[in-house]
Amino acid sequence: VQLVESGGGLVQAGGSLRLSCAASGRTVSSYDMGWFRQAPGKEREFVVGIRWSGGATYGADSEKGRFTISKDNAKNTVYLQMNSLKPEDTAVYYCAAKRYSRWSSPDYWGQGTQVTVSS
């Protein structure tokens, strides 16, 4: 399984970005897909996941209402729409896939995409 993220960049606080994660094979329709992030000097944290059958799970309430995960099985791509961005959202964002494991240890990782939110 290969995961390739894109869509990161520099945005002002209050702005929006949409990240994409292109997966190989039929990953998106058969794996749970998720987004993690790692800010400088901090541990990688789970942001949000979506089950292979649909239905999202958020890692923290602070992202609910601001971040939305979605997927397109036909395009084998997962998206993370991020609105009302804050400087504390600055991090490298990673796409991940898991089948039977917990989100604490997904099976596959992407290489990450940098998101920088300026104040």
Cβ neighbours of residue 87 under 8 Å, at least 6 residues apart?
A: 13, 117, 118, 119
What is the spatial distance between Cα 48 and Cα 68, in angstroms, rounded to a whole number?
8
State the 10-residue block means of pLDDT for the chain, 119 residues long. 97 98 91 96 95 87 88 96 96 96 93 97
Q: Residue 26's pLDDT is what?
A: 85
Q: Residue 58's pLDDT is what?
A: 84
Q: Residue 59's pLDDT is what?
A: 85
Cβ neighbours of residue 105 under 8 Å, at least 6 residues apart?
A: 98
Q: Residue 60's pLDDT is what?
A: 80
Q: Residue 54's pLDDT is what?
A: 86
